[in-house]
Structure 1
Amino acid sequence: MKAGAPQGRIPGRVPSRPRTVPVQAEEPVQPAEPQRSESGRRVADAMAAVYGQRPQWVVRAPGRVNLIGEHTDYNDGFVLPMAIDRAVWIGLSPREDSHVRVHSLDFLQGIEFDLGALERGGPGWGEYIKAVAWSLQAAGHGLHGWDGVIFGDVPRGAGLSSSAALELASARAFAAASALAWDPPAMARLAQKAENEWVGVACGIMDQLTSACGRSDHALRIDCRSLDIDPVPLPPAASVLVLDTGTRRGLVTSAYNRRRQECRQGAEAFGLTSLRDLSPDTFERGEGRLEETIRRRVRHILTENARTLEASQALRGADVESVGRLMLASHASLRDDYEVSSPALDAMVEIAAAQPGCWGARMTGAGFGGCAVALVERAGAAEAGERIADEYRRRIGQVPAVYVCRAAQGASLS
């Protein structure tokens, strides 16, 4: 690791007081925990209270934060996420019939459905469980019913993949109750299919694959075409801060699906099925014939793939300064070319990047609100988080949530 940390700034003006939607924040800075086993005990105790029996299994599936490689996954590109130590937990016991009953500790409500008569409707969180059941059965898996209690501590709508965590926890629960072999990449693909075709969100594969295949203390360089996964160790001297702006966006109704369509238009303009196959030389020769918005969308995907590959190599070599520089460039591209940032995200990234001990920061997730991510010196991570929270609160007038995150293992069963 190179000595010293830059005090970078993101190019461009950042409004000083963006409009935000306040949410209830937790303690400003929360340190990572070795394993959130108290959540497992919580669902086990609740299972006994709700159903009169303790669970036969407890499953968990983590959320994720993407260090770099944004909006590249649905373009068959490269991403560099890590699973985080915030997760969705399900305590469950199998039934002898095809009935599924699940009680949510987060929403204080329950759902019931039969695997032989799946229908849309009911609470939004329950639709993800039904979606996974539908996808598994459509793939030919015979499923058994179960009773369960669910709880999650992945912030919803923050760009940390709470939906993918719910999908993989549900898949792990169905696999346990139905004695299915657990194949993480295959289950990730089925979870993606569930979200695409049942829920109606045209997400890529990154979120589900990271939740299924995460490795402790590693990021994952994922090739979203081949689904090859290359674990990249995180430098011991570095920590990852997740910076929740407190703003939220509706993914299904947002501009996310429009960005996908714009990328398809860009690929078609070059006679390609995917922007993954576009070379810099071909882009330079043909960009003049593209409509300006499409040109900027294509340029982001092209440069973001290059940044992601470079960042994974730098991270493997513990060159955190280079990783930080690439994160800052990624944010500028997402803000200016892909236009998925927001005033709150821009402010958070600028504040983080100016802190001593911060190598770089960027928005993470689909955008339009949610979280930023920063790479900071481990020795002063909590203090850096406090300073960022204080300055954001002073500038924006609202309290952010800041988490020191640990790279966690993927979906598991106990």
Structure 2
Amino acid sequence: MAGLEDCCEREAEVIARAPGRLEVLGGHTDYNEGFVLAVATEQATTVAVAARDDHLIRAWTDCDESEADFDIRRLDQGPWGRWWDYLAGVASELMAEGCPVVGADVAIASDLPIAGGVSSSAAIEVASALAFSTLAGCAIEPEALALLCQRAESDYVGMHCGIMDQFASIFGRAGHAMWLDCRTRERRMVPMRSTDARFVVCDTKKPRELVESAYNERREECERAAALLGAAALRDVDEAMLAERAGVLDETLLRRARHVVTENARVQAGVEALEAGDMPLLGELLSASHVSLRDDYEVSCEELEAMRDAALSQPGCFGARLFGAGFGGCVLALVEATAVDDFAAQVAGRYQAQTGLQPHIFATALKSFFCSWFSFTP
């Protein structure tokens, strides 16, 4: 990574690292207090910091040529609609919790696709929170740290996300998927027993700006649907209840609710498929999830459909779905391990020919997700 030595000729005092996440199942269920199934990625964001003798945060990243420069005493002037809003939001939340954040020079490096649905935002939040808190001498429990980072993104940045991304980044473990109850925050690590398949991330290179997209609108629609159904959240609605009370919802709210209800059921079935090593069943669940996200939740787009169609056309693909917020970003495919190389080449060629965009496609073995985070002072 381009470290502080390259940016400002300083040595790092703290280095922190946090991975992104792959949402296996559970699209848009987290902010509905539902269930999710996610894994931490091999790809990650690394944040190196060194204290300054003033109140400025000066930050550089290898993902953007612009330099951040803001005063931690003036965080109410943000957000600015730039990548450093995540740093400012984390600093704001840390200080609200009594952590004496100090000015710092910050260097950030990441091999996560930006705005691709792999939670690059959660990774920078978690890594910067670890770095800033360690530099300030504050010890924060992992769950409290995850919730703090979620508040930074929701309350400061303005993207009203759930807790899945931050929890997956912090609690992800090698060889396991994380099942998370987003209401109680109960979590369970589910062993991924099959070594015969890989998750393949297919980045469409169609970016989306979450805050400016329909993401927040979807959340508001779900809240209205739950209220009309007499439920605290859509997590409390099952298919029988939805069918019985469907008449109180208009067509749009019915589709939104139907997606959340059926997606929660798919998460539970996905846990069973992973535990059994049943990759064909898991692939079917991924594909069913995509159809629901496309037709009922309406968060797909032309590029995501082209990528998924290309994936499903290839031998050895068990299933594929858009993941993350949608409106662009990535498709997750489950592919036989022996077919991955041909799959990537064929999908990339077909997608580029159809859209004119050059995709980024990479695979990860089911057993190779590892370490959620670490930090140290050299």
Give the TM-score, by structure 2 length.
0.93
1:239-298 deviations in whole A, cap 9, x for unaligned? 110001121222111111111111011101111120111122211111123211111111
* Alignment equivalent of 1:108, drawn from 32, 52, 65: 65
Native 8 Å contact 2:23 2:324 kept in 1: yes
Distance 1:123 1:161 in 2: 17
1:73 and 2:35 matched:
no
Deviation at 1:327, TM superposition (A): 0.6
Distance 2:328 2:105 in 1: 35
The alignment partner of 2:178 has SS state of strand
The number of equivalent residue pairs is 371
Distance 1:286 1:312 in 2: 29
Native 8 Å contact 1:65 1:160 kept in 2: yes
1:111-131 deviations in whole A, cap 9, x for unaligned? 333333323155711111011
Native 8 Å contact 1:95 1:144 kept in 2: yes
Matches within 5 A, 1:332-371: 332-371=291-330
Aligned to 2:374: 412
Aligned to 2:230: 271
Deviation at 1:335, TM superposition (A): 0.8
Distance 2:53 2:353 in 1: 57
Aligned to 1:37: none
Aligned to 2:92: 134
1:100-143 deviations in whole A, cap 9, x for unaligned? 33222332333333333323155711111011010111122222
Distance 2:313 2:142 in 1: 39
Matches within 5 A, 1:379-398: 379-398=338-357
Q: Which amino acid aligns with 1:229?
A: R
Aligned to 2:248: 289
* Alignment equivalent of 1:192, drawn from 141, 144, 150: 150
Aligned to 1:64: 21
Aligned to 1:327: 286
Distance 1:197 1:121 in 2: 10
Distance 2:349 2:66 in 1: 36
Give the TM-score, by structure 1 length.
0.85
Q: Which amino acid aligns with 2:92?
A: W
Structure 1's unaligned 5+ residue stretches are 1-41
Distance 2:316 2:103 in 1: 51
Aligned to 1:228: 186
* Alignment equivalent of 1:171, drawn from 115, 118, 129: 129
Of stretches 292-301 and 153-162 in structure 1, the one that deviates more from structure 2 is 153-162
1:147 and 2:105 matched:
yes
1:351 to 1:109, Cα distance in 2 relative to 1, 3 A: closer
Aligned to 1:29: none
Distance 1:288 1:269 in 2: 10
1:131-166 deviations in whole A, cap 9, x for unaligned? 101011112222233322112221111111111111
Deviation at 1:92, TM superposition (A): 1.7
1:79 to 1:49, Cα distance in 2 relative to 1, 3 A: same
Deviation at 1:412, TM superposition (A): 1.9
Say which structure, 1 or 2, has more relative contact order (CA 8 Å, 6+ apart).
1
Distance 2:107 2:353 in 1: 40
Aligned to 1:11: none
Q: Which amino acid aligns with 2:322?
A: M
Deviation at 1:354, TM superposition (A): 2.5
Aligned-pair RMSD on alpha carbons?
A: 1.7
1:185 to 1:382, Cα distance in 2 relative to 1, 3 A: farther
Aligned to 1:239: 198
Matches within 5 A, 1:12-91: 42-43=1-2, 46-91=3-48
* Alignment equivalent of 1:306, drawn from 238, 251, 265: 265
